[in-house]
Amino acid sequence: MERVLSGLRPTGRIHIGNYFGALVNWVRFQDEYRCFYEVADWHALTTMYSESRRFRELIKETVLDWLTVGIDPERSVLFVQSDVKEHAELHLLFSMLVTIPRLQRNPTIKEVVKDLHMEGKISYGLLGYPVLQASDVLIYRPQKVPIGEDQLPHLELTREIARRFNHLYGDTFPEPEPILTKTKRIPGIDGRKMSKSYGNAIYITESPEEVEKKIMQAFTDPEKIKKDDPGHPEGCVVFAYRSAIDEDGTEELENRCRAGEIGCVQCKRETSKIMNEFLDKFRKKREELKAVDIHTILKEGAEKAREFARETMQIVRERMGMWSKD
């Protein structure tokens, strides 16, 4: 069976941007692949190093939401990155194969630095973020990596590292293919990237009232003021939500919006209703998960992940001709 690996940082509750950006594919791939899904707590540490004591709680919250959307621990391996120390060893070995200018060119780091006002304060660990990610991925030698669009530059570097390693030490790693979702990018209610830190996210287990309130505040076409003004759905947040959850109705809405046959207030009301119907299955699933033992799931997952990771590291050390006392 081919393998899949992906991960998310433990930021706590997941939002519809996470869901439509990547998790839909995580759920789908469980039927066809051997899936490894990791909580990337070391990655979270690159920016949240002073909040490490919160991670235990955040990890549990994150995994509970994964289960809520349909990730199934019976079929997939769910684990926490820091439980599999082999990732750290591979990260160290890979760190020799990447130059500092290559890491500084990474667009994601530029964005993080700007958003978090970290100019001149980039740590060694933060700069190496994509090298650690390459280790996470390649240690499971997967064929596919379902991710959000924002992660594409990291996967490009992963593939470069795989090529470089294979060239130096012999064929060891596949060059995994990134898989994006159909919707790719779901904007936050203010039109920016949906992110917990921007306060513009809709969470998958939020109450119907809260969802409606947020959608009613969402950013639409600024040129559509009156109901019968013709609208431009392409820049409209509400339209983006609608296309994600109601594929069949999208074309009709687009036509009505452009023709000025529907006003934004009515459109938002309809969209809230459809969104709440969509989220209802998660709310129900969450009820069923009340007694779930996340700790045991992650413990068993870590054991399975380690078994695989250990095997890869043995191959890696042998190919490199590294010292072994045995």
Residue numbers annotated as active site: 114, 193, 196
Backbone angles phi, psi at 20, to 5 degrees: -75, -20
- Residue 212 lies near ligand SF4 (rule: CB under 6 A): no
| Residue from the set 18, 30, 82, 220 that interacts with ligand SF4 by CB under 6 A | 220
Strand-strand pairing, 77-80 and 34-39: parallel
- The stretch among 48-56, 74-82, 108-116, 235-243 that binds ligand SF4 (CB under 6 A) is 235-243
Using CA of residue 60, residue 62, residue 64, residue 66, what is the dihedral sign? negative
**Token pair 């000025």: residue:** 260
CA distance 126 to 48: 11
CA distance 324 to 111: 41
- Residue 312 lies near ligand TRP (rule: CB under 6 A): no
| Residue from the set 7, 73, 231, 301 that interacts with ligand SF4 by CB under 6 A | 231
CB 8 within 8 A of CB 39: yes
CA distance 213 to 74: 37
Residues binding ligand SF4: what is the number (CB under 6 A)? 13
- Taking the complex as a whole, the smallest distance from the CB of residue 208 to ligand TRP amounts, in Å, to 28
Range list of H helices, the chain: 16-18, 24-29, 41-48, 55-69, 86-94, 100-104, 107-115, 124-127, 129-138, 152-169, 208-217, 237-245, 250-258, 264-288, 294-320
- Tell me the DSSP string of 183-197: S---B-TTSSB--GG
- Residue 236 lies near ligand SF4 (rule: CB under 6 A): yes
CA terminus-to-terminus distance, the chain: 32
Q: Under rule CB under 6 A, which residues in 253-272 are in contact with ligand SF4?
A: 257, 262, 264, 267-268
- Taking the complex as a whole, the smallest distance from the CB of residue 265 to ligand SF4 amounts, in Å, to 8
- Residue 233 lies near ligand SF4 (rule: CB under 6 A): yes
| 4 to 43: interface string for ligand TRP, x by CB under 6 A | -xxxxx------------------------------x--x
- Residue 241 lies near ligand SF4 (rule: CB under 6 A): no
CA distance 294 to 7: 17
| Residue from the set 23, 145, 179, 245 that interacts with ligand TRP by CB under 6 A | 145
Residue 189 binds what, of ligand SF4, ligand TRP, none (CB under 5 to 8 Å, by partner type)?
A: none
Residues binding ligand TRP: what is the number (CB under 6 A)? 13
| 131 to 170: interface string for ligand SF4, x by CB under 6 A | ----------------------------------------
- Contacts with ligand SF4, residue ranges (CB under 6 A): 220-221, 224, 231, 233, 236, 238-239, 257, 262, 264, 267-268
